[in-house]
Amino acid sequence: MYIAPNSTIKLLTGVPIDKNQSDTLWFASVGEQTAYFNGKAKRTFSLQTYQRTERGYCRLEVNPYDIYDCNYMMFQNTSYGSKWFYAFVDKITYINNSVAEVVYTLDPLQ
């Protein structure tokens, strides 16, 4: 079955939490959480392929040097609901001048 590319990926910068879970953020509501992270967005990519939470990487049409300062991401598979997934950016790999591979780990607390 064909799934039309309809996912949204946002790369964030300056998010003050880490994978050790020694520093995390708590929010009173989902709306407050979404608004906070949207405010940290550096780049937004629309109409992306379905993002599998267990895969742990995605390729984006962007010059890798433009996103090396991103430390967190959020994505939403809009064809299947409105839930945002949050993840730590582990590595950004240069593929070519217009493609970067982003390796990530889901944030279990967010």
Task: Report the C-alpha dihedral over residues 38, 34, 36, 46, rounded to 10 degrees.
Answer: -10
So what's the pLDDT on residue 22?
74
| CA gap 70, 10 in Å, rounded | 10
| CA gap 36, 18 in Å, rounded | 16
Angle 2-12-45 from CA coordinates, rounded to 5°: 30
Rg for the chain (alpha carbons), in Å? 14
List, in order, residues 6 or more apart from 55 with CB less than 8 Å away.
Answer: none
pLDDT digits (tens, 9 = 90+) for 61-89: 999 999 999 999 999 988 778 899 999 99
In the structure encoding, which two tokens stand for residue 23, read together? 């520093």
- pLDDT tens for the chain, 110 residues: list them: 777 788 999 999 999 998 887 778 889 999 999 999 999 999 999 999 888 888 899 999 999 999 999 999 999 988 778 899 999 999 999 999 999 999 999 998 87
